[in-house]
Amino acid sequence: MPTEHDVPRVSQLTLRTNQFNMTTLRMDVSEVKQRLSDPESLVLCIQSSDRYGAQGLVGALFMEERDGLIIIENMLLSCRVFSRGIETACLAAVLGYAKASGARKVVGRYRETARNRRFADLFERHGFCHAREEAGCRESEHQLADPPTPASHIVLTADFRRQRRC
């Protein structure tokens, strides 16, 4: 969950990230804060480090919880870190959280752009099944039976607590 200090960087990621930006949902600081205050929204920050040091806040997930569903409205990662397994670890954590919280399934959204086509099959590569397409947005569903296994070199600390800090 982003702290007040993280909100400008989360906003910046939504505004500037083009390649690994699943729906290109753009948000200014006030819109990120609004999501944080919404009881049905869940915003997660992705921070990364490796043996050379910390890369800092490199991604975010915007989700909504309602009617037994967790909807991934957007997932984005900085180009500095994608395709290192971080995306798999994050999806595995979301799916684990969904299962533990009693959700029926997780829905992932993808809206194709010229820049994000490289990740068009991200959800399907992680066990999601294509469900529907509406207004240019594809939705894929995961039934929570077989979550992906993160790479062994990834150590993930996931915090899904709802603490309103902004």
CA-based angle 145:157:5, to the nearest 5?
A: 125
List the structure tokens of 148.
Answer: 């992906």
Q: Mind listing the domains of the chain with CATH numbers?
A: 7-142 (3.40.630.30)
pLDDT, one tens digit per residue, over 110-160 is 999 999 999 999 999 999 999 999 888 999 999 998 877 777 676 666 667
Specify the pLDDT at position 11: 95
At 156 the pLDDT is 65
How far is 52 from 50, CA to CA, in rounded Å? 5
Q: Which residue has the higher pLDDT, 79 or 114?
A: 114
Decide which of 52 and 30 is more confident.
Answer: 30
Residue appearing with tokens 């959800």 = 123
Does position 79 have pLDDT exceeding 90, yes or no?
A: no
Cα 91 from Cα 13, distance rounded (Å): 18
Identify which of 26, 36, 41 has the alpha carbon closest to the alpha carbon of residue 5.
Answer: 36
pLDDT confidence of residue 72:
97
Q: Which of 164, 129, 122, 121 is nearest to 145 (CA)?
A: 129
pLDDT above 60 (res 163):
no
Higher pLDDT, 52 or 98: 98
Angle subtended at Cα 131 by Cα 110 and Cα 92, rounded to the nearest 5 degrees: 65
